């Protein structure tokens, strides 16, 4: 099984069993063994590591705030952002249909693959290895956390920005729904008509897709 030394460096873990990483990068559309079971494992592992990190970093804040901070880090959009930062899309193994529809940059696929990668690290090297990997890949996001800063989701931030510029509120519409009923992916378009800008986002629910579309539109405006 081929190694991925560049990706291993970006993750912060060298695999003793490279096939685990290959499986983590394999989407269901490509074939078996795919990454869905590793994704399940990684989801639990990253939640535990992030909870431990927050508990140690912020000894004076209450459980509710800790939960809010953890949710901000392990939500789909945040995981996809980390996946993009380490260039995970370039290593994914996708079926032809997913490749042609832009699946390599779909937030839900990237987030799932990142979780699967953490699951693979856990199986390969144990808890300390995955703890190191999460710290390595989430370093910037962890460093920017400020429990005193009230959380605003992307839709709220976009709405406030447009209101501040005396622009019309953004409009959202579902442009596509793909996948089986139990594993649907929604694609949503967000339009800021007054600025002549639009962006799309995807997610496992309409709400998540709208948030991703709003984030992508905010990036365009801020750029």
What total of structural domains would you count in the chain? 2
Say whether both 32 and 112 belong to one domain. yes
Instruction: Please give the pLDDT value at position 223.
Output: 66
Give the global pTM.
Answer: 0.72
Q: Using an 8 Å Cβ cutoff, are 139 and 82 in contact?
A: no
Instruction: Please give the pLDDT value at position 154.
Output: 84
Residue 33: asked if its preceding bond is cis (omega within 30°), the reply is yes
Among 39, 53, 115, 210, the active-site one is 115
Say whether both 79 and 31 belong to one domain. yes
Say whether both 192 and 133 belong to one domain. no
Our answer to whether residue 52 is catalytic in this structure is no
Look up the domain containing 105 and give its range. Answer: 5-144
Instruction: Please give the pLDDT value at position 147.
Output: 75
Our answer to whether residue 146 is catalytic in this structure is no
**Does residue 108 lie within any of the structural domains?**
yes
pLDDT digits (tens, 9 = 90+) for 125-174: 999 999 999 999 998 888 877 777 655 678 888 888 888 788 889 999 99
Say whether both 11 and 107 belong to one domain. yes
What b/e readout covers 69-101, taking b as 16+ CB neighbours within 10 angstroms?
bbeebbbbbbbbbbbeebebbebbbbeeebeeb
Instruction: Output the average pLDDT for the chain.
Output: 89
Q: In the listed set 144, 172, 190, which residue is the last one of a domain according to the structure?
A: 144
Say whether both 25 and 129 belong to one domain. yes
Question: CATH number for the domain including 41?
Answer: 1.10.1520.10
**Does residue 149 lie within any of the structural domains?**
no
Which residues are bridge partners to 23 per DSSP? none
10-residue mean pLDDT profile of the chain (223 residues): values are 87 96 95 95 95 92 84 84 93 92 87 96 97 92 74 80 86 90 86 93 89 89 75
**Does residue 31 lie within any of the structural domains?**
yes
């Amino acid at each position: 099984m081929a190694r991925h030394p560049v990706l291993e460096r970006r993750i912060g873990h060298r695999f003793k069993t490279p096939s685990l990483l290959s499986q983590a990068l394999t989407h269901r559309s490509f074939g078996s063994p795919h990454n869905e079971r590793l994704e399940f494992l990684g989801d639990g592992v990253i939640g535990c590591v992030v909870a431990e990190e927050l508990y140690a970093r912020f000894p004076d804040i209450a459980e509710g705030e800790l939960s809010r901070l953890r949710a901000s880090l392990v939500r789909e959009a945040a995981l996809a952002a980390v996946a993009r930062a380490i260039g995970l899309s370039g290593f994914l193994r996708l079926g032809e249909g997913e490749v042609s529809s832009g699946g390599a940059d779909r937030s839900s696929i990237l987030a799932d693959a990142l979780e699967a990668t953490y699951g693979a690290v856990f199986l390969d090297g144990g808890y300390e290895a995955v703890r190191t990997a999460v710290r390595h890949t989430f370093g910037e996001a962890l460093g920017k956390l400020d429990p005193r800063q009230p959380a605003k989701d992307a839709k709220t931030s976009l709405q406030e920005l447009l209101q501040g510029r005396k622009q019309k509120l953004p409009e959202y519409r579902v442009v596509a729904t793909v996948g089986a009923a139990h594993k649907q992916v929604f694609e949503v378009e967000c339009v800021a008509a007054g600025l002549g800008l639009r962006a799309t986002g995807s997610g496992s629910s309409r709400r998540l897709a709208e948030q991703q579309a709003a984030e992508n539109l905010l990036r365009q405006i801020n750029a």
